[in-house]
Structure 1
Amino acid sequence: MTKQALAGLRVLDFSDARTGAQVGQTLADFGAEVILIEKPGGAALRGQAAWPFWARGKKSATLDLKDPADLAVALDLVRTADVVIESFEPGTADRLGIGYAALSALNPRLVYGSITGFGRDTGFSDLPGFEGLVSAKFGINWTMEGMADRSGPVYCSVAYPSYAASQLLLQGILVALYEREESGAGQWVETSLAEAMTIYDPYGWAMRTAAIKFGGGEMKQLPRVLDGVPTGGLSFRLLIALTKDGHWLQFSQTPDRLFRAMMRLFGLEWMFDDPEWSEIPNFESAAKRLEFWEILLNIVRSKTAAEWAAGFDEEPDVWGEQFRKGSELLHHPQMEWNKMVVAPDHAGFGTVRQPGPIAHLSATPADVLSPPPALGQHDAEVRATAGAASSATAPAAPSAALPLAGVTIVELATFYAAPYGATLLGELGARVIKLEELNGEPQRNMLPFPEVAGLKALLGKESVGVDLATAEGREIAYRVIAKADIVLQSFRGGAAKRLGLDAESLRAVNPDLIYHNAPGYGVDGPYARRPAFAPTIGAAAGIAWRNAGPVIPSGADLDLAAIEPASNQLGSAVMTGGNADGMSAITVASAMMLGLLARRRGHGAQDLFTSMLSSVAHGLSEVMLEYDGQPATPEADSGLYGLHALYRLYETPSEWVFLAAPRDRDWDRLVTAFPAAASLANDPRFATAADRRANDAALAEAISALLQARPAAEWETLLRAHGVGCVVAARGPIEANYMGDAGAAMNLLTEGDHPILGEMSRLKPLIRFSRSATTTKDAPLVGQDTEVVLREFGYSDDELAALVAKGVIVMG
């Protein structure tokens, strides 16, 4: 029988939200017994298209927690549980009798996981935990302005906060279980949608800090597009263009060598030697940017997609990925090659094509073929086990130390999509040693101001500058890795083996090593050697179309006047608000914790595999299924205001608000709160939920008219006082809101230091534990820790001097 990483663990899932559902789904995938506690009538999630995915492998028990007898059953189940998951609004679990204090008293080994919208005891704790409110409060909607064919903020359809929060809580639970293996004690683990949103900012925070501290009135954060024209060279490196036969392509040429390869393929390499184009691709003049942009767009639309594919085969450093829609990612050749797509037959659903596990674990693989449960399918079984009593007790004084203290991760990864995953574990106590090239990892200097682009992914790490292409450099890597727990690498396919840094080579020096492959596409297969960056994967996976599909024109007959604005819209849709980098990094951290916990539970060393592509499949799980009769997934309206009249953006006489009142109880509060409530409450078109759905456009028009009576800030105050989700849509940039009053109200901020930026505000760790500690450390310059680390691993003064002289290492 196949071993599973989490076999023997019992999980009680009280959540009826996507966030908790995805946590429980992953725990079930890897062998935990996950019991979904459903209210009579069933979880609301059952009506969503993604239910067969989110609920796969779980058991269903129906309990009415307001009934004392059923509550007693739930409390009996807690006595033998290892994990509880809940996503109620703050205080609700306590009122129901299943809060942490009550349950930990019954079972001191319990790991209790909570996700809220805005955290407990913060300035926004009273707000319902809807994604739309988080997006509005922190400026995401305004940042996406220009994506719609209108002015004003734009609704973000991709569930960026929910996926990130699910993975943060999953990591926290796995970390608490890992720590419990030694301490014997459980604890409370918490995160929020608002905190989770911050994972999608690779460098905005650091760049804003640099602009504030060193701008002198001259350095400013420019928008990505100004007057319809891209403002920076990055937009040309990551070109979005239409082919002759009407296919949108996303190019991936961020580093200089890849950009030069594209220019060579386009027949434009001569521009690098022409004084007229000396600034390429970072032009000060808007006219020059427009001229260059149109040259590129015209070249791409001179050939068909098939002709460009042949060109990419001839020039492998150039890649233009096609923009996919809906669930098309499930048919991507690399997804199928990686075995990250499954299609089991489920009773009541037929064949359900869906994403595989979030990670492949070679020794403890997931089981993702088990069906979702029927409502109450396991009632008798679960109730029969509820009377058992736990004999386990926690130690009198469990440790409050860093839970991952003693774990060492050696990072061979670059940019953000894998490295930030190691950063997150570093905040929980892991030591992260980054072996980076002598000039520094490429992200460090991706922006005009030195170092800031890579700062966030470098936080808390030790930098060793080493040339791994040399024999001496590989020997350094072998010495360090011999004492490591995890190696994290994200090279393109084949590169690790060429360098002698593949799993087989490294296990020869460390048999107990967990080896994590985290590429963009794969370690082998049809796309493994293609360049992969956040927009490339976002295009391939369908992020852009999920966000902006209703407004993007297609067809071979589009002229430049139509192509240019659509290119800008796709650029916003694929990268603004969130991105594939963040989805990948957060999944990388979860996979590493699965590997660590499995090893601590006796399963030994193994290979881990995640890809950016498959990570986004999980991030887009609400649309990433195919089966007969599946319900439609809600999509934004043609104006990109929102999903429907009671979950959308509205303009007021001063600024915009986001209104979130989708449930019946929200409607009742809303019509009570409006000064002119009678116009809604007494209108037969809006009498029931079904009536409101049938007359959605009329309801939106009526609410819009009512909202003209007051400015946005007054509506937020009034409606929040009645328990209605309504916030002013904050202006961007997003990081300014997290760095400012909103972040302070959430108590998210702490202070750090940087060798170039000096003292700076930064985020606290995104996971909170009731007992275990977390930490924040600063980011190093390249090679800053080379000398200290290599001395630790036995290198003498003479050896270090010789290595510097030969150009093998750099010491800061």
Structure 2
Amino acid sequence: MTVTTAQEGPLAGLTVVDLSTTLPGAQATQFLADAGADVILVEGPEGSPLRSDPGWPGLLRGKRSIALELHRDDDSADGDRAVLNGLLRQADVLVTTMRPAAAVRLGLSAERLAADYPRLVAAMITGWGSRGPWADYKGYEALIMAKTGVLHSKRQLTSGPDPAYVSVPYASFAAGQTAVHGILAALLERESSGLGQVVEANLVSGVGAMDTYNWFYEMILRRYPEAFKPLPDAFDDQGRPQTRLMYALLVAAAKDGTWLQFAQSAPHLTRAFLEELGLADEVREPKWAGFPDLPTPELRQEWWDKMLAKVGERTLAEWEAVFDRNSNVFAEQFRTPDEALAHPQLVHEGRVVTVNDPDLGPVRQPSTMVHAGRRPLTEIRRAPRLDEDAAEIRRLAGAAVPQDARHEAGGTVERGAGPASPACPLAGVTVLELGGMFAAPFGATVLADLGARVIKIEPLDGDAIRGMMAFPEAGGGKVLQGKESIALDIRTHEGLAIVHEIARLCDVVLQCYRAGVAARIGIDEAALKAVNPHLVYLNAPGYGIDGPYGGKPAYAPSIGAASGVSLTDAPLGGARPETREQLLSGARNLRAGGTVPAVQSDGIAALGVASGLLLGLYARQRGITLTDLTTTMLGSCTQALISRNTGYQGRQPLSRVDDEFRGLGPLYRMYRAADGWVFLAAPAGRDWPALAEALAGYGSLSDERFATEAGRAANAAALTAALEAIFVTRAKDEWEAQLTAADVGCVAVAQVNAEWRMQDDEFYQAGYAADVVSPIFDEHRRAAPLNRFSRSATKPESGCRLGQHTNALLRELGYDDEQIAGLRKRDVVR
């Protein structure tokens, strides 16, 4: 079967049983439903907790609903468990978000699943993973963000040195996408082995994938403390700029109060920006010698004031006219998640849809994250009502036959003769990577960890990310993991011919150039499919393969501003500034919203790229050809915020961090302990009894005002004060030990940068980091692969030197030593 539009979707015919009750599971199965899978949402009799999320119509869209009682011990529950068993005998995929012990109690251990449903791919998404010291901790997003150091990394959302609450669900989105990666990889592996397996994804590893390069910065800083001066925070304790990037990534307000995020990071873009501001001559004066590295805080502040004032001389419309006539100057306006869906590029690409719901009316939401044939993968269908499809689903469960019989009778895949060897699920797959930096290339890194061979084409002077940090090669340490590097000049006829020859060897091509660039070079889909018609070709630009913004440069800060990511994390910064202090504080706040390396739009986009690559591979395995397969940074970031940008009349208010950036309310926030901070996560009504009992010795929680959920909400300030008085009396680690023993969500807040915390001894011993040996950094720790499989292996490897594999790859293509020497002499290869 060959299709180019795939309106049934490349996953049509797959059955997914969705037992998830939290955001990462919902987003994983939403992706599968968007791609055409039949997702059966199993809800409790009162409905899924997800239905209380304002974004539930987007999260649950395209699924079918059945209400089952699975947790009670009575006859009715036995009947509902029989329905679940019938569904699992039919299903290809199971997705759960329960803690490991709860899965075992429900009979969903890896051993039971393998015995009862041998062809089932079961994705278990947890907060902390199935093993290690925190496996039984509650998996609330903020607990993961607190313990991994992300709240510390985002501390400059506030004016002081304290950790700051993070509102974008980075960890949940990441865990959902890594679950998708594991599911699709396991389905590909099943095509040869005939067997399913358990796939694990977790929020800790997911959020660890978001960092672009600071993992290596933190590692080198401790290994070679004299090698370079540590990078300072963006602002000093008086709010004055401390880094050169403040000027290239300027956040400023236009004359009409519209906040703009500039992204002028390349030297020629910085020069163009200064010329546009009328500051190009002034910056050459002796006073500003060394710009952008100015020696004193007073000079840095003065120059920042100048740039802010110059931007403020023009309105948004006047700046947009500049962007139209000067391709070297560009900024995005800061948008809320709702406003982001009006972005001209998203509208042009059909990445925004309105679905009519019989109860809610029109519901506006993002379309599918992956597009094919220049349109969404499928037509978005509304979310189901609770138990809406029960009769049909019960008939399906009752008609179930054993998986083996179903597939032997008419399936497309033969049953394997026995268990597969512990090979990687993508063993034998070859990926050609074209493009640079992080947002797309890290998607290929994910596939390398799953066993794919990734061949990276680099320019003769290397991918620019290699030089992003003061210490040589540290910038590319993470994104180059597991890859082979060939350095060549693709602009030469001989260099382009080599790329085409490599394409003959490959299964997948990933390219992330701006619209039109790949075609001008000769490496677009048509050109490479002419030499290898069976290629899966994924476009992964910042904005799109055409359209009003297709040719614009895309950087994490500008995409964060355009998509709503920045204003979600920094909601206080979007107001129109009326005074200089409001201008400065707004700029500081918004910068922290979108430019902190630990969690930002590059990481979101990269995980979407990996999902797109794997979807294309699995579609090809099923005989489906997808043309113009595309993910974009902007599109993926709007998907990450689907719980906040799904809009309809009567939508419940979105959660909003308090003005001190402590959290969302008295039972989901940070509290000062005797020696630091703890994060308390007990927001659900079922969490209160355990918390009240654990803190009964303090007496204050027995106040009758706190006896009911309504009372606690009405007396939130009093409850916060009572808990503040309690937590300050003991050390943070003591609180974590006491409350987690009582099954209350509470962790000590790490007050080191996330990229170091994730590789320290505690996290390494817990399995979140792995040992590798690098040709540049010798032996070191890297983040562990994002999935664990019950049968398949993963392949954590180190990065590579520039051109490390040039000779070997050329020899593989048939070049001899004399020819290679000639290519090198002519500066075709390095």
TM-score exceeds 0.5: yes
The alignment status of 1:25 with 2:30, answered yes or no, reads yes
Corresponding residue number in structure 2 for 1:609: 630
Corresponding residue number in structure 2 for 1:188: 198
Q: Which stretch of structure 1 is more off in the superposition, 193-202 or 68-77?
A: 68-77
Matches within 5 A, 1:45-56: 45-56=50-61
Match of 2:643 among 622, 629, 634: 622
* CA distance in 2: counterparts of 1:89 and 1:456, whole angstroms: 30
The alignment status of 1:539 with 2:561, answered yes or no, reads yes
* CA distance in 2: counterparts of 1:269 and 1:354, whole angstroms: 43
Corresponding residue number in structure 2 for 1:226: 236
Q: Aligned letter for 1:389? A: V
Residues 67-88 of structure 1: per-residue CA shift (max 9 Å, x gap):
1121122112111111100000
Matches within 5 A, 1:609-688: 609-681=630-702, 683-688=703-708
Match of 1:801 among 821, 825, 828: 821
Match of 1:347 among 338, 343, 358: 358
Question: CA shift at 1:218, angstroms?
Answer: 5.7
- Is contact 1:435–1:464 with CA below 8 Å preserved after alignment? yes
Corresponding residue number in structure 2 for 1:416: 438
CA RMSD of aligned residues (A): 1.8
Cα–Cα, structure 1 residues 326 and 365, in superposed 2: closer, same or farther, change >3 Å?
closer
* CA distance in 2: counterparts of 1:300 and 1:272, whole angstroms: 16
Match of 1:723 among 739, 743, 766: 743
Q: With the length of structure 2 as denominator, give the TM-score of the two structures.
A: 0.94
* CA distance in 1: counterparts of 2:190 and 2:466, whole angstroms: 37
* CA distance in 1: counterparts of 2:809 and 2:312, whole angstroms: 52
Match of 1:707 among 699, 703, 727: 727
Corresponding residue number in structure 2 for 1:115: 125
* CA distance in 2: counterparts of 1:298 and 1:450, whole angstroms: 36
- Is contact 2:373–2:626 with CA below 8 Å preserved after alignment? no
- Is contact 1:418–1:588 with CA below 8 Å preserved after alignment? yes
- Is contact 1:118–1:746 with CA below 8 Å preserved after alignment? no
Corresponding residue number in structure 1 for 2:491: 469
* CA distance in 2: counterparts of 1:206 and 1:88, whole angstroms: 33
* CA distance in 2: counterparts of 1:160 and 1:272, whole angstroms: 39
Any unmatched runs of 5+ in structure 1? none
Corresponding residue number in structure 2 for 1:441: 463
- Is contact 1:245–1:556 with CA below 8 Å preserved after alignment? no
SS of the residue corresponding to residue 719 of structure 2 reads: helix
Match of 1:504 among 526, 530, 541: 526
Cα–Cα, structure 1 residues 602 and 553, in superposed 2: closer, same or farther, change >3 Å?
closer
Match of 2:397 among 386, 401, 407: 386
Corresponding residue number in structure 2 for 1:37: 42
Matches within 5 A, 1:784-799: 784-799=804-819
* CA distance in 2: counterparts of 1:535 and 1:460, whole angstroms: 27
Q: Aligned letter for 2:636? A: S
The alignment-based identity, stated in percent, is: 41
* CA distance in 2: counterparts of 1:745 and 1:758, whole angstroms: 20
Matches within 5 A, 1:236-635: 236-270=247-281, 274-362=285-373, 366-387=377-398, 388-392=400-404, 395-549=417-571, 551-552=572-573, 554-555=575-576, 557-559=578-580, 561-576=581-596, 577-604=598-625, 606-635=627-656
* CA distance in 1: counterparts of 2:224 and 2:110, whole angstroms: 47
Question: CA shift at 1:453, angstroms?
Answer: 1.0
Residues 729-759 of structure 1: per-residue CA shift (max 9 Å, x gap):
1102111211114413421222223333332
Cα–Cα, structure 1 residues 215 and 648, in superposed 2: closer, same or farther, change >3 Å?
same
- Is contact 2:349–2:374 with CA below 8 Å preserved after alignment? no
Cα–Cα, structure 1 residues 70 and 677, in superposed 2: closer, same or farther, change >3 Å?
farther
Q: Which stretch of structure 1 is more off in the superposition, 480-489 or 272-281?
A: 272-281
Question: CA shift at 1:273, angstroms?
Answer: 5.1
Cα–Cα, structure 1 residues 580 and 218, in superposed 2: closer, same or farther, change >3 Å?
closer
Q: Aligned letter for 1:619? A: A
SS of the residue corresponding to residue 197 of structure 1 reads: helix
Cα–Cα, structure 1 residues 389 and 634, in superposed 2: closer, same or farther, change >3 Å?
same
Q: Aligned letter for 1:84? A: L
- Is contact 2:181–2:611 with CA below 8 Å preserved after alignment? yes
- Is contact 1:317–1:530 with CA below 8 Å preserved after alignment? no
Q: Which stretch of structure 1 is more off in the superposition, 467-476 or 56-65?
A: 467-476
Cα–Cα, structure 1 residues 186 and 347, in superposed 2: closer, same or farther, change >3 Å?
same
* CA distance in 2: counterparts of 1:455 and 1:793, whole angstroms: 27
* CA distance in 2: counterparts of 1:51 and 1:745, whole angstroms: 37
* CA distance in 2: counterparts of 1:565 and 1:691, whole angstroms: 36
The alignment status of 1:205 with 2:215, answered yes or no, reads yes
Any unmatched runs of 5+ in structure 2? 1-5, 72-76, 405-414
Cα–Cα, structure 1 residues 391 and 580, in superposed 2: closer, same or farther, change >3 Å?
closer
Q: Aligned letter for 1:528? A: G
Q: Which stretch of structure 1 is more off in the superposition, 100-109 or 346-355?
A: 100-109
* CA distance in 2: counterparts of 1:562 and 1:31, whole angstroms: 48
Question: CA shift at 1:294, angstroms?
Answer: 2.1
* CA distance in 1: counterparts of 2:800 and 2:486, whole angstroms: 10
- Is contact 2:127–2:144 with CA below 8 Å preserved after alignment? yes
Q: Aligned letter for 1:260? A: R
* CA distance in 1: counterparts of 2:70 and 2:670, whole angstroms: 35
- Is contact 1:78–1:103 with CA below 8 Å preserved after alignment? no
* CA distance in 1: counterparts of 2:176 and 2:454, whole angstroms: 24
The alignment status of 1:172 with 2:182, answered yes or no, reads yes
Question: CA shift at 1:363, angstroms?
Answer: 9.8
The number of equivalent residue pairs is: 807
Q: Aligned letter for 2:370? A: A
Q: Which stretch of structure 1 is more off in the superposition, 172-181 or 706-715?
A: 706-715
Question: CA shift at 1:275, angstroms?
Answer: 4.9
Question: CA shift at 1:517, angstroms?
Answer: 0.8
Question: CA shift at 1:480, angstroms?
Answer: 0.8
Corresponding residue number in structure 2 for 1:78: 88
